[in-house]
Amino acid sequence: MSSSIASSSSSSSSSSKKEKKISLKTSDGEVFEVEEPVAMQLEIVRSFFADNEDVTEQTVMPLPNVSTAAMHGILEYCRAHEEFRRRMPEAAPEEEVRAFEAGYVDRKSNEELKEMILAANYLNISKLLDFLTGVAAKRIENKSVEYVRAFFGVENDFTPEEEANLRREYEWAFEGVDED
Amino acid sequence: MSDYIPQEVLVEIFIRLPAKALLASRLVCKSWCSLITDPKFIYKHTQFTFKSQDTSQLIVRRYYRPDMRDKFTLHRDDESFSEYQPLDIPFDSKYYPYAVVGSCCGLVCLRSTSVRNMNMPQPLVLWNPSAGFCVSLRVRPFIGNILDPIYGFGFDPRTNDYKVVKIVYGVKSLYPNKSPQIVDIFALSEGKWRNITAPAAPLYIINEKLSWVYVNGAIHWIAHYELDQVLYSRKMVVGLFDMSEEVFKELQMPEIIMTERIASEKTQKLSIGDMNHSLSLLHYYTQWENSPSYDGCCIWVMKEYGVVESWTKQFKIDLRLGLGKILGLRRNGEILLVTRYNGELVSFHPETRKINKLGIYGDSWSFNMDFYLESLVLLNGAEGTSRMSSSSVAAAFEKAALHWKSRVGI
């Protein structure tokens, strides 16, 4: 899929001498001019342009569920992956991808990570969603129940009794976790 | 931006969590608890874990003579080969001997070995070690057979189901050329035994039930065809049971192994192995007939599964310490093996020949190793099985042991 898009964009750019851009508008009104092959990694954008005959290059696609901050993060990831793909179309340079991804999430707070997961889910970027949900799993894997509740902003709706019963059932599962 | 994370996104995060973290996460709130314990979620989690082909965790079983007990331990395949979770073994092997039928995708299947009366069903136990769940299967008694049945345990990746296959051979001395008589299968999702003799029965004979391997969605054994009973000539093959298709198939062995075996059968032994998810043949040899230890082993690897031409002699291991058993290949390229004389698990570099002792001891014959994946399977029990606590597993094995003792008069 992505390779056919890339080839059509390169042929059109040779005629117009300029890479085709797609305009995306975030929830807080900022418009991002995004290179077509990068924007097409966003499945929601790809299907919007594929399904609507009457959209033109001037069309600004609104993305009401994505904040500007999240959009910056998303585009950083998608641009990096487009760059990897351009350099090595056959096989991604695995070590480099891993190094980039590690550095990329290290800078993200839990709040930012959550916001990006929601955005990646809405924009339907399965590769990024796979990656970010894996990061979230790693962040909560060895944490206390209280930490996980705070991480997800979830209210405890168990009675103390119910909680004690559940805890007793598999007591060992609560041993050896980090508190913070 | 709302904090609300849709359920489908939560599921994506949860399927990437190990069993322990999931059991703990039930406490977060009611909706999480019902999501995590939902059989549909457990199914999805198992499917994801299986597909990940993760090889970073290993389960090791051994018989430890000083304690007179079997030990099961979970290890991370890292520098230190560290044991990462203590296991609560639901039975006491000192009093209730059992054999490992197989270990696959987070479940271990065991059977009692104390019963010799084939009319008495042997307890068959499925155990989820990291979550501590245990169930027993009803086993149909079989009448008029004196041969031990052969069991195989594996995972069907097409339906994400666990299956136990049971093969009962006819009495050998009476029917030398008649092959297996009854083949039954138990799928965890169905909860009952189903007879598949007619479409499935193989014509070869499975030699050794203690050497098996699960790769590529099938259980593999060393098997043979009886060519000439008088000359005792056999054709060796790799016999396999495909867990999805539920049929037996076979793979040819490398020609040279067949020729060498005919030349000197008494100083060799052939086992089946798994070298990092590749089907392998372990061809042990010794200088002396009936030697208790091997001097070395050639490891043949089937580079491309199912392609006989791709059998490659990948490693040749010579060990002065004496070789007990080869368990598998580590991620760092070292081979895990057990030395014969002191029964220690060591990591052996095939090129530098450097030996890294791991401080894990046991009788070399008793060692088993498999890749280990964490699953929540059996959390809610399973149809056709009884949920067991540690004490009821012991009781089931005890009953079998008592029965046997009364039969043999001890």
Amino acid at B377: V
- The partner residue sitting opposite A148, judged by closest CB among B18, B23, B28, is B28
Chain B residue numbers touching A142 (CB-CB < 8 A):
21
- The predicted model scores a pTM of 0.81
What's the CATH code of the domain at B113?
2.120.10.80
Q: Does A167 touch chain B (CB under 8 A)?
A: yes
Res. B353: pLDDT tops 50: yes
Nearest to B371 by CA among B339, B329, B338: B329
User: Does A36 share its domain with A97?
Assistant: yes
Give the tens place of pLDDT for each residue, B83-103. 887 787 777 767 667 788 999
Identify which has the larger pLDDT, B178 or B346: B346
User: Does A98 share its domain with A165?
Assistant: no
Give chain B's mean pLDDT.
82
Give, in order, the Cα–Cα distances in Å from B287 to each of B284, B290, B292: 11, 9, 11
The per-residue pLDDT for B389 is 64
User: Does A70 share its domain with A158?
Assistant: no
CB contact under 8 A, A173 and B13: no
Give the tens place of pLDDT for each residue, B357-377. 999 999 988 899 998 988 888
Q: Tell me the pLDDT band of B132, cut-offs 50, 70 and 90.
A: confident
CB contact under 8 A, A133 and B9: yes
Counted residue by residue, chain B has a size of 410
Residue indicated by tokens 């070298």: B275
Residue B103's DSSP bridge partners are B108
Q: Give a yes or no: residue A180 inside a domain.
A: no
Q: Which of residues 92-151 of A touch B (CB under 8 A)?
A: 114-115, 117-118, 121, 129-130, 133-134, 136-138, 140-142, 145, 148-149
What's the CATH code of the domain at A86?
3.30.710.10
Cα B124 from chain centre: 14
Domain count, chain A: 2
Give the tens place of pLDDT for each residue, B207-225. 777 789 999 999 999 988 8
Q: Give a yes or no: residue B29 inside a domain.
A: no
Give the tens place of pLDDT for each residue, A68-99. 999 999 999 999 999 988 888 787 778 888 88
Amino acid at B362: G
Q: Tell me the pLDDT band of B114, cut-offs 50, 70 and 90.
A: low
CA angle B342, B344, B348 (to 5 degrees): 120
Structural domain including A15 reads 2-140
User: Does A55 share its domain with A131?
Assistant: yes
Structural domain including B67 reads 38-408
What distance in Å separates the CA atoms of residue B117 and residue B119, rounded to the nearest whole number? 5
Give the tens place of pLDDT for each residue, B298-338. 999 999 999 999 999 999 998 877 888 999 999 999 999 99
Shortest CA gap B164–chain A (Å) = 28
What distance in Å separates the CA atoms of residue B132 and residue B378, rounded to the nearest whole number? 9
CA angle A104, A106, A112 (to 5 degrees): 80
**Average pLDDT, stretch B235-257?**
91
Residues of chain A with pLDDT under 70: 1-18, 179-180
Tokens of B197: 């003799």
Q: Does B30 touch chain A (CB under 8 A)?
A: yes
Nearest to A167 by CA among A137, A150, A146: A146
Q: Give a yes or no: residue B174 inside a domain.
A: yes
User: Does A95 share its domain with A164?
Assistant: no
Comparing A57-61, B277-281, B341-345, which segment has the lowest mean pLDDT?
A57-61
User: Does A89 share its domain with A157?
Assistant: no
Nearest to B27 by CA among A126, A51, A165: A165
Res. B18: pLDDT tops 80: yes
- The partner residue sitting opposite A141, judged by closest CB among B5, B18, B27, is B18
Give the tens place of pLDDT for each residue, B160-217. 899 999 888 766 544 555 555 788 899 998 988 898 876 667 778 887 777 899 999 9
Q: Give a yes or no: residue B133 inside a domain.
A: yes
The per-residue pLDDT for B96 is 67
Number of neighbouring beta carbons within 10 Å of residue B399: 16
User: Does A72 share its domain with A160?
Assistant: no
DSSP string, B145-173: --SPPEEEEEEETTTTEEEEEEEEPPPTT
What distance in Å separates the CA atoms of residue B204 and residue B15, rounded to the nearest whole number? 41
Shortest CA gap A28–chain B (Å) = 11
User: Does A22 share its domain with A78?
Assistant: yes
CB contact under 8 A, A157 and B1: no
Q: Give a yes or no: residue B70 inside a domain.
A: yes
Give the tens place of pLDDT for each residue, A129-141. 999 999 999 999 9
Tokens of B382: 């399973």
The per-residue pLDDT for B120 is 56
Nearest to B265 by CA among B239, B290, B296: B290
Q: Tell me the pLDDT band of B410, cut-offs 50, 70 and 90.
A: very low
User: Does A151 share its domain with A128?
Assistant: no
- The partner residue sitting opposite B28, judged by closest CB among A137, A142, A154, is A154
- The partner residue sitting opposite A173, judged by closest CB among B23, B29, B32, is B23
What distance in Å separates the CA atoms of residue B295 and residue B283, rounded to the nearest whole number? 11
Q: Does B33 touch chain A (CB under 8 A)?
A: yes
Write B315-320 long-range contacts (CB < 8 A, 24+): B315/B350, B317/B348, B317/B350, B319/B295, B319/B348
What distance in Å separates the CA atoms of residue B150 and residue B162, rounded to the nearest whole number? 17
User: Does A83 share its domain with A165?
Assistant: no
Q: Give a yes or no: residue B334 inside a domain.
A: yes
Number of neighbouring beta carbons within 10 Å of residue A168: 9
User: Does A66 share its domain with A102?
Assistant: yes
Q: Are B162 and B187 in contact (CB under 8 A)?
A: yes
The per-residue pLDDT for B337 is 94
The per-residue pLDDT for B392 is 58
What distance in Å separates the CA atoms of residue B363 and residue B371, rounded to the nearest whole number? 21
Res. B275: pLDDT tops 60: yes
What distance in Å separates the CA atoms of residue B97 and residue B112, rounded to the nearest whole number? 6
Number of neighbouring beta carbons within 10 Å of residue A31: 12
Task: Compare all CA atoms of chain A with the CA of B130 and give the residue at the minimum distance.
Answer: A173
Q: Give a yes or no: residue B11 inside a domain.
A: no
Identify which has the larger pLDDT, B177 or B9: B9
Domain count, chain B: 1
What distance in Å separates the CA atoms of residue B133 and residue B25, rounded to the nearest whole number? 17
What distance in Å separates the CA atoms of residue A113 and residue A73, rounded to the nearest whole number? 9
Classify residue A84 by burial, with Cβ atoms within 10 Å: 0-12, 13-18, 19+: middle
**Average pLDDT, stretch B241-253?**
94
Q: Give a yes or no: residue A111 inside a domain.
A: yes
Q: Which of residues 374-403 of B touch A (CB under 8 A)?
A: none
User: Does A86 share its domain with A165?
Assistant: no
Identify which has the larger pLDDT, B42 or B115: B42
Q: Are B130 and B85 in contact (CB under 8 A)?
A: yes
